[in-house]
Structure 1
């Protein structure tokens, strides 16, 4: 049974780990430029991890939990223990969207965790001004993920995980010769847009640039590469020599109410031993 994650997350890989795991790179360290909820980290056994993401709020939460978990647990639990209502949610959302210069890392992390568990469907979405804008979720008793927090803290400590707020290009520049790379970018057109969780979108041109960069890393350094994406990206990766595997993934969020399993691809380049 797969381990659950701290955050509710659109496109989480928790439910497809049994299908994904056989295709993941065989390496000492796993590098993830699109860490998301860290579902892959929490369901694999690499000796080391480099987890990175462009979403600063996400990485701030993981960083705070890795270094000051007790502070986040205490402060966030106060939010979860209050009555879950419309007015408190929007008050705390407004605080989260205020200038961060005067806010501690623990406060930011605690608010982000609260918003994730109390907002509509656990979405992570921002407007053009960079403000978190997901509406209230109207849940009776949102779950406080204490067990998941403890598991993440233990895993981050034991594997000496590096947690970085970086664009994917900068993360790939840190890939060493013996690393494996797993990428789970916002999916290419043809899948619901809820996977976009940052103010800057991810265009078809970005997908092409990512695929070419991964191919170059494999050609030059021999690193094994695995990528998850929608069927819309199948031709792109196949043309670059990736082996393509199709799986059926359950939908947890769908704008049109359709929650039937959706086809996803797993694109793989095997590694070359140095």
Structure 2
């Protein structure tokens, strides 16, 4: 099952490898929602999914609350003539019409994502979505994906918050998975961007949360900076397909790391290996 959105850095392709490193827990916390591929491919009892991009979270909230309404509304836009003129009209409406309901805004966001160039999500400094028309012959309408998402979203809470705020909400039994904009690649998913200072700040928070006993898993580029930032984590190097941030002739693949915090004792919890080689935490009685 693919995701509702096309998304740079979508984790669907690497889930067979990533899932090996995600420990069991009562709730998976994701400060960077992205395509929600990890939520869709895992089976945690509960999820806290956050992102600083309000349009992304609005789409997920609308899909969770009323999948049929979203499908009906979005199909109106998908049924229009598939050309640059229609695309630019809808993009202008999305950027300038302050009277749009949350449902229509979610439907337009989905339309723009599936019709724009490479499914990019990019905003200018004024907060306007500015990705050009993709000129695809038959943009895919994710009907089945929306229905599947809504079914899974019963277990999830979606919030618009930055990573700092989200990581302050951790509670006993949580597992953290972070998929921030990668070091050295595209980072304009939001007007604020994601700077090298953010990379340092995020890593410092995750280091602290790890020392408190929360299992933490992080994806990022395989660079000297990420090796330094996550030097106290176990780093697994993988090769992944990438459509952006790869030099011509590189075969559209790039090295990434999956950084995994080392298990530790905390607040009476014991790490125990379970049959699928995940780590779970059980309260001592």
2:115 is aligned to 118
Q: Which stretch shows the higher mean deviation, 70-79 or 119-128?
A: 70-79
Tell me the secondary structure at the aligned position of residue 263 of structure 1. Answer: strand
What is the match of residue 262 of structure 1?
A: 254
Cα deviation for residue 252 of structure 1 reads 3.0
Q: Which runs of 5+ in 1 are unaligned?
A: none
Q: 1:254 to 1:216 in 2, by over 3 A?
A: closer
1:11 corresponds, among 1, 9, 12, to 9
TM-score (norm 2): 0.89
CA RMSD of aligned residues (A): 1.5
Residues 132-143 of structure 1 mapped to structure 2, 5 A cutoff: 132-143=129-140
CA distance in 2, matches of 1:65, 1:134: 23
8 Å CA contact retained: 1:27, 1:179: yes
Q: Deviations along 1:51-100, whole A, 9 cap, x unmatched?
A: 00000000000001111222211110111122201110000000000143
Higher strand share: 2
Alignment match, 2:60: 62
Which residue, 175, 179, 184 being the options, matches 1:184? Answer: 179
Distance in 2 (alpha carbons) for counterparts of 1:58 and 1:171: 16
Residue 254 of structure 1 and its aligned partner are, at CA, apart by: 5.0
Deviates more, 1:198-207 or 1:130-139: 198-207
Q: Does the residue aligned with 1:93 lie in a helix, a strand or coil?
A: helix
**How far does residue 238 in structure 1 lie from its aligned partner after superposition?**
3.8
Partners of 1:174 and 1:63 in 2: how far apart? 19
Residue 273 (structure 2) aligns with: none
Q: How far apart, in 2, do the equivalents of 1:230 and 1:169 lie?
A: 21
SS in 2 for 1:40: helix
Paired residue secondary structure (2:257)? strand
**Residue of structure 2 in register with 1:168 after alignment:** 163
Q: CA deviation at 1:141?
A: 1.1
Which residue of structure 2 lines up, in the alignment, with residue 106 of structure 1? 103
In structure 2, runs of 5+ residues without a counterpart are 270-285
Do residues 208 (structure 1) and 205 (structure 2) align? no
The one of 113, 125, 129 equivalent to 2:126 is 129
Kindly provide the CA deviation profile for residues 139-162 of structure 1, in whole angstroms up to 9, marking residues without a partner as x.
1110100011011000011x2x00
Distance 2:132 2:105 in 1: 18
Contact 2:51 2:162 in 1 (8 A): yes
Report deviation, 1:188.
1.0
Check the 8 A contact 2:177/2:218 in 1, yes or no: yes
What is the CA distance between 1:253 and its match in structure 2?
3.6
Structure 2 partner of 1:32: 30
| Aligned equivalent of 1:242 | 233
- The structure having more radius of gyration, on CA atoms, is 2
Distance 1:78 1:259, change over 3 A: farther
- Please state how far the C-alpha of 1:270 moved relative to its aligned partner: 3.6
Q: Distance in 2 between matches of 1:260 and 1:123?
A: 16
Would the aligned equivalents of 1:248 and 1:263 in 2 still touch at CA under 8 Å? yes
Q: Is the 8 A contact 1:234 1:244 kept in 2?
A: no
The CA distance in 2 between the partners of 1:48 and 1:234, in whole Å, is: 29
How many residues end up aligned between the 2 structures? Answer: 264
